[in-house]
Amino acid sequence: MKDVQFSGKVLSILLSDNRTISLPVDKIDWLKWLANASETQRNNWSIEPGGYAIYWDDLDDGIEIEHLLGMSPLI
pLDDT in tens, 6-43: 999 999 999 989 999 999 999 999 999 999 999 999 99
Mean pLDDT of the 41-61 span = 94
pLDDT computed for residue 75 by the predictor = 47
Statement: residue 71 has pLDDT above 80: no
DSSP state of 52: S
pTM of the model: 0.84
Q: Are 20 and 13 in contact (CB under 8 A)?
A: yes
All structural domains of the chain: 3-69 (3.30.2020.40)
The Cα 73–Cα 75 span in angstroms is 6
pLDDT computed for residue 72 by the predictor = 60
